[in-house]
Amino acid sequence: MSDAVPAVSGHPPARSFQPRRRKLGPTRLAAYERLRRRFGIEVTGPPLEPEAGTVLDIGFGYGAALIELARVRPGEPVIGVEVHTPGVANVLEAIEAAGWDHVRVAEADVLDLLPRLPPASLAGIRIWFPDPWPKLRQQRRRLVRPEVVAVLVDRLVPGGFLHVATDSADYAAQVQRVCAAHPELRGGIIARPAWRPVTAYERRGLAAGRQPLDLWYDRNPA
């Protein structure tokens, strides 16, 4: 299996999120722990064996978009990865309520989960509205950077997709540069897909006058 994201200059890989581990109330916490044992994925353990067609949803926030797509696409297996505990709890509760067997969740940084995903095991990867880290000194934390994209592409099947959405023009430009430099990716900006649910983050951005961009890349099928 390919290595995970490499450390740079002897330091651990830069984390791409702002920790948001909020507490749950006692009743919900008990349900969360029970559901996580049933439907959760741990970051340590043997290699996973994702079903054919599995999509990795990175940083799903409160989970509304993941839940909506899971509802209308029952035949699409999904692994959701998020560090925000209430969002993970929302998805776990939706899984139980709907009786889904095609959705699993990891409360983790995706950088820690990637070693468990074998090469060419994912049909697609969604990264919708990742933390933009707008300040210059912060931009090394952006998820879509060369060393991370190299590992993500390795996990895609030939012909698999990488779908990024952002309302930061600067981040969109970085996505274009990084993906254009990868020899196995082809694509760029696309019209907003009508099927993509509006996320809570996107809704706040629209209210503030920011316009989202969707970027779609396919891994070469050869």
Contact 63, 87 (CB under 8 A): yes
Give catalytic status of residue 131 as yes or no. yes
Q: State the Cα–Cα distance between residues 109 and 104, nearest whole angstrom.
A: 15
Determine which one of 57, 109, 112, 131 is catalytic. Answer: 131
Q: State the Cα–Cα distance between residues 160 and 219, nearest whole angstrom.
A: 5
Buried b (16+ CB within 10 A) or exposed e, 162-187: bbbbbbbeebbebbbebbeebebbeb
The catalytic site residues sit at 131
